[in-house]
Structure 1
Amino acid sequence: MGDVLAGNHSAWEFEANSVLIRFERGIRTPKLFQALGERRIPYEALSTVELLPGGKRGTVVLHVVPREGADPLLDAADGQLKPGSDPYRLVLPADRETLAEYYADQLREELGPESGKPADRHLVEPPKPPLSFKAYDGKATFDGETVAFRWFSTGASSAKWKAGDQSFGVREIDGIEWRSPEVFDGHLRLHLPGNEAAAQPDQDPASVVFGLGYGPVYESLPFAAAVLAAAAAAGGPVTHGLRPTTGPARGDPADIAERIRHLGELHEAGLLTDEEFTAKKTELLALL
């Protein structure tokens, strides 16, 4: 198509076989978009195209939906991204609705016979390593081949300290789960063979837990997507999403006290309601 459609926070450049999404760098641009920079989306990766009313009055949204399994970023996110952080939404003034409808029609013409089927491989490039971020209990790094967790003395549980710092080659990883730091109990966990019923994330040496100011979406989600894509490329099918954990076990009193202290920080920051704080504190005390 060879044209550019600019909207809030990004501009979409329509090319022969793909759409190149360039994200703005500005104080109002979501930090996830700034971290991604730009993304090239092949038309074969798309499932549907739709034009929607905008969340704010006087706007419309050109929204494309990738095929299941085509984009490791969305696989890792597992439906947890808020609309404002969805990189496949282009928000436009309502007076450009006719132009947006034109491009939506052009994109629909590019959809192939496989558009309604899950992709058998990732069609969108993942974020490039090396990548790293600080979680509440440790630092996570990924160099493209190995994921490493280095524990912090102020946050890691005794179980993680006993296990020591960890490293995992991508061929060892058969799944990954990312629970958004914007909800309680956010974490990133690696699934390993024989570890289907793992302990809680704060006790599992194959995971790091988020918290107030730690593991933000714009750092931890691209990290998870890059690991997911590398593991899939190295060893075949890799799962994503949350798995059930084992029931509660008796905890170390020092660990429990530290977790309650952290709960208090979340509560004081307004990230937990009084009811949520009381319920989780009661749950932790029951582990003693």
Structure 2
Amino acid sequence: MGDVLAGIHATWEFEPDSVLIRFTRGNRGTPKLFQVLDERRIPLEALESVTVCPGKRGTVVLHAVPRAGADPLMDAAAGQLKEAADPYRLVLPAERGTLAEYYADELRAVLPGPATGPAARCLVPSVGAPLRFKAYDGKAVFDGEKVSFRWSWTGASSAKWKAGDQSYTVSELAGVEWRSPEALDGHLRLLFRGGAPGGAGERPAQADQDPAAVVFGLGYGPVHESLPFAAAVLEAAREAAPALPAAAAPPRDPAGVAERIRHLGELHSAGLVTDEEFRNKKAELLAEL
């Protein structure tokens, strides 16, 4: 598509096969998570749907929904992020609502369609290793190949001290369980192939008793530190597992292309796109027929 849409905390650049999201740095009110992510390239095949809805205080929100399995960050978050910290929400002034609808239509026209299952692989890279953060009961470190927990003498339970500091390779892991530090029982727990590390027996139900977990507290394991960590571990664990076959993309719909041209004409008539932008975009759309 080759167009740019600037929002309050991010800018979306629309490209033929992806959307590049650049998060604004230094803006008052920009979530710390966005500053850590910096920018993210979202392949179109990673998106499930796109919507436009009214936002708060005179804004409109362009919201893309990623496919399950496509983005380890959102999979690790498991719906626990607050709306303001959702990296797939572009908040715009309400007067740009028509443009938001236009770009939503453009994206819908090129999305692969409803997914029949989770993505076969991670399509949106995580922040990447090395990563570390301080939890309430210890320090967590991920170097890209193994996850290590080093216990704190002031916060760790006797069960963790008895087990000693822990280190697990990604080949042992099936995934992660991240419970937001904004919840009462916030924690990061490693999930293993076979259910328990080393084929051991049943794991402790409480994260503060589990040597393969760290717990969060006030100021310990904040979202912008612990969630990218969880996503990087999840991505590495999936890459170490056998890949699933990818689904084929459906053919283009001529009626959908015609509707996009009509919508483009309305934007041109309203003065929201220039003559040159109208000619170039119309040529691109006609080339799809």
Q: Which TM-score bucket, shorter chain as reference?
A: 0.7 to 0.9
Decide whether aligned partners of structure 1 residues 113 and 97 sit closer, same or farther in structure 2, where only a CA change above 3 A counts: closer
Q: For residue 170 of structure 1, what is the aligned residue in structure 2? A: 170
Q: For residue 101 of structure 2, what is the aligned residue in structure 1? A: 101
Written as runs of structure 1 = structure 2, the 5 A alignment for 1:36-51 is 36-51=37-52
Letter in 2 for 1:2: G
**1:199-221 deviation per Cα after TM superposition (whole angstroms, max 9, x unaligned):** 11101100000001000000000
Compute the displacement of 1:189 (Å). 0.4
Compute the displacement of 1:118 (Å). 2.5
Compute the displacement of 1:164 (Å). 0.8
Q: For residue 179 of structure 1, what is the aligned residue in structure 2? A: 179
C-alpha distance in 2 between matches for 1:157 and 1:236: 36
C-alpha distance in 2 between matches for 1:232 and 1:102: 36
Q: Tell me, what secondary structure is at the counterpart of 2:90?
A: strand
Compute the displacement of 1:85 (Å). 0.6
Q: Tell me, what secondary structure is at the counterpart of 1:61?
A: strand
C-alpha distance in 2 between matches for 1:139 and 1:17: 39
Letter in 2 for 1:198: R
C-alpha distance in 2 between matches for 1:194 and 1:120: 22
The correspondence for 1:222, drawn from 206, 220, 228, is 228
Letter in 2 for 1:202: D
Q: For residue 214 of structure 2, what is the aligned residue in structure 1? A: 208
Compute the displacement of 1:147 (Å). 0.3
Q: For residue 240 of structure 2, what is the aligned residue in structure 1? A: 234
Compute the displacement of 1:235 (Å). 2.5
Task: Determine whether 1:81 maps to 2:81.
Answer: yes
C-alpha distance in 1 between matches for 2:173 and 2:73: 17
C-alpha distance in 1 between matches for 2:238 and 2:58: 42
Decide whether aligned partners of structure 1 residues 233 and 224 sit closer, same or farther in structure 2, where only a CA change above 3 A counts: same
TM-score (norm 2): 0.79
Q: Tell me, what secondary structure is at the counterpart of 1:212?
A: coil
Larger Rg: 2
RMSD value, Cα: 1.4
C-alpha distance in 2 between matches for 1:174 and 1:68: 16
Letter in 1 for 2:68: E
Compute the displacement of 1:197 (Å). 4.3
Q: For residue 276 of structure 2, what is the aligned residue in structure 1? A: none
Unaligned runs of 5+ in 1: 238-288
Compute the displacement of 1:119 (Å). 1.2
Letter in 2 for 1:19: V
Q: For residue 160 of structure 2, what is the aligned residue in structure 1? A: 160
C-alpha distance in 2 between matches for 1:175 and 1:33: 23
C-alpha distance in 2 between matches for 1:194 and 1:233: 19
Give the length in aligned residue pairs.
Answer: 236
TM-score (norm 1): 0.79
The correspondence for 1:198, drawn from 180, 200, 203, is 203
Q: For residue 149 of structure 1, what is the aligned residue in structure 2? A: 149
Q: Tell me, what secondary structure is at the counterpart of 1:235?
A: coil
Please tell me whether the aligned partners of residues 71 and 125 of structure 1 are also in contact (alpha carbons under 8 angstroms): yes
Please tell me whether the aligned partners of residues 48 and 113 of structure 2 are also in contact (alpha carbons under 8 angstroms): no
Decide whether aligned partners of structure 1 residues 236 and 202 sit closer, same or farther in structure 2, where only a CA change above 3 A counts: farther
**1:81-108 deviation per Cα after TM superposition (whole angstroms, max 9, x unaligned):** 1111100000000100111111111111
Which runs of 4 or more aligned residues in structure 1 lie more than 3 Å from their structure 2 counterparts after TM superposition?
113-117
Compute the displacement of 1:159 (Å). 0.8
Please tell me whether the aligned partners of residues 48 and 115 of structure 1 are also in contact (alpha carbons under 8 angstroms): no
Unaligned runs of 5+ in 2: 244-289
Q: Tell me, what secondary structure is at the counterpart of 1:222?
A: helix
Q: Quote the sequence identity (%).
A: 69
Please tell me whether the aligned partners of residues 175 and 233 of structure 2 are also in contact (alpha carbons under 8 angstroms): no
Please tell me whether the aligned partners of residues 171 and 231 of structure 1 are also in contact (alpha carbons under 8 angstroms): yes
